[in-house]
């Protein structure tokens, strides 16, 4: 892996925190993945890694290191997924979630090295985190899944129909075509299903790295990845505590799939799977208005302490 230096980026919202930015060449040596990193200021003993969701970018979450109040002995890392942010790759497209998972392995290995770390994931990032964990590519000491993409929503098409359409189109060599769905940021604030915060919704709308609607290949790859989550043999590879948080006003991912999956995971995995509703919150738990955001951060920090993984 090769590292390219970049200018530090200061955080405008909650502190003067600075992230060091760089690039790691992907596993196939075909594109660069951009990452953000905050080194510890004292000898490092643990780390916090954030895996964001579809259409997101590093700077969107620059407030998290400060709001999580990570200690001086903790480092922090995050990255732009291929096809979004300032990373390389075709926009809104992925061949398979194994590519996302291998990117996660590369970034985490590069930034955390041998340091024990906690992993916090949001939406598509939760599916990536679980996929990478269940395939043995990453080894966090605990895992938090916010608004996890366990299953795609059942609208506008039922899952079986949507999968077959995306599969046929992809096999026909047209998987690069955008599906037209998933453009939540194009709604007016009053009709949005992402966040109660007008200012944070404006940040999403004014993203410096706008991403089009998912391609049909992304939809197919996502369906294939969610099937992996229900494989009892792969679920047996989960041996770390998991916390799942979801807003009761969730409308982006299929929240109805959460409890059945949690029951399946509790039956087959080798560790605990805890769950908490964030009453009244929408999809963007880490970009919500108060008190939803504060409740989310507090719940995660308290859970870290409870399972013996303080940061």
pLDDT tens digits for range 75-96:
999 999 999 999 999 999 999 9
Q: Is pLDDT above 90 for 24?
A: yes
d(CA 278, CA 181): 26
Task: Write down the pTM of the prediction.
Answer: 0.92
Question: What is the percentage of the chain residues whose pLDDT exceeds 90?
Answer: 82
Residue 225's pLDDT band, with cuts at 50, 70 and 90, is: very high
What mean pLDDT is predicted for residues 2-18? Answer: 39
Instruction: Say what the pLDDT of residue 16 is.
Output: 41
pLDDT at 180: 67
CA–CA separation, 246 and 277 (whole Å) = 5
The pLDDT value recorded for residue 186 is 66
List, for residues 232-268, the tens digit of each pLDDT value: 999 999 999 999 999 999 999 999 999 999 999 999 9
Q: What is the pLDDT of residue 4?
A: 39
Predicted confidence (pLDDT) at residue 8 exceeds the cutoff of 60: no
Q: Is the pLDDT of residue 46 over 80?
A: yes
Euclidean distance between CA atoms 224 and 227, whole angstroms: 5
CA atoms within a 13 Å half-sphere pointing along the CA-CB vector of 15 = 13
Query: How confident is residue 14, by pLDDT bands cut at 50, 70 and 90?
Result: very low
The runs of H, that is alpha helices, within the chain are 64-67, 97-112, 124-134, 159-169, 198-205, 216-228, 232-235, 258-268, 292-306
What's the rounded mean pLDDT across residues 167-192?
A: 79
pLDDT digits (tens, 9 = 90+) for 198-222: 999 999 999 999 999 999 999 999 9
The topology (CATH level 3) of 41-306 is: Rossmann fold (3.40.50)
Tens digit of each residue's pLDDT (9 = 90 or more) over 253-309: 999 999 999 999 999 999 999 999 999 999 999 999 999 999 999 999 999 999 999
Q: Answer whether 81's CB lies under 8 Å from 87's CB.
A: yes
Averaged pLDDT of the chain = 91
CB neighbourhood size of 147 (10 A): 31
For the chain, the domains span: 41-306
- Cα gap 128→104, rounded to integer Å: 8
- pLDDT above 60: residue 51: yes
pLDDT band at 183 (very low <50, low <70, confident <90, very high): low
Q: Determine contact, residues 153/178, Cβ cutoff 8 Å.
A: no
């Amino acid at each position: 892996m090769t590292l390219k230096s970049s200018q530090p980026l200061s955080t405008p919202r909650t502190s003067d925190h600075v992230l060091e930015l760089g690039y790691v060449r992907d596993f196939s040596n075909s594109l660069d993945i951009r990452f953000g990193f905050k080194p510890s200021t004292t000898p490092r003993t643990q780390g916090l890694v954030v895996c964001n969701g579809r259409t997101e970018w590093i700077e969107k979450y620059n407030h998290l290191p400060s709001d999580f109040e990570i200690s001086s002995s903790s480092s922090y890392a995050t990255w732009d997924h291929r096809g979004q942010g300032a990373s390389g790759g075709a926009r809104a497209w992925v061949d398979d979630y194994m590519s996302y998972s291998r990117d996660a392995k590369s970034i985490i290995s590069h930034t955390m090295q041998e340091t024990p770390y906690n992993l916090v994931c949001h939406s598509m990032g939760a599916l990536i985190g679980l996929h990478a964990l269940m395939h043995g590519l990453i080894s966090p000491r605990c895992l938090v899944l916010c608004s996890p993409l366990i299953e795609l929503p059942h609208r506008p098409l039922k899952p079986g129909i949507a999968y077959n359409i995306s599969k046929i189109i992809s096999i026909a060599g047209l998987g690069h075509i955008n599906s037209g769905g998933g453009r939540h940021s194009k709604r007016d604030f009053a009709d949005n299903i992402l966040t109660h915060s007008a200012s944070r919704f404006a940040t999403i709308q004014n993203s410096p790295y706008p991403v089009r609607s998912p391609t049909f290949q992304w939809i197919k790859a996502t369906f294939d990845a969610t099937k992996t989550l229900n494989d009892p043999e792969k679920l047996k590879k989960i041996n770390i505590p998991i916390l799942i948080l979801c807003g009761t006003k969730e409308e982006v991912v299929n929240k109805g799939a959460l409890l059945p999956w949690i029951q399946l995971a509790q039956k087959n995995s080798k560790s605990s799977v805890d769950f908490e509703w964030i009453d009244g919150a929408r999809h963007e738990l880490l970009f919500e208005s108060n008190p939803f955001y504060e409740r989310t951060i507090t719940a995660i920090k308290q859970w870290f302490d409870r399972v013996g993984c303080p940061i």
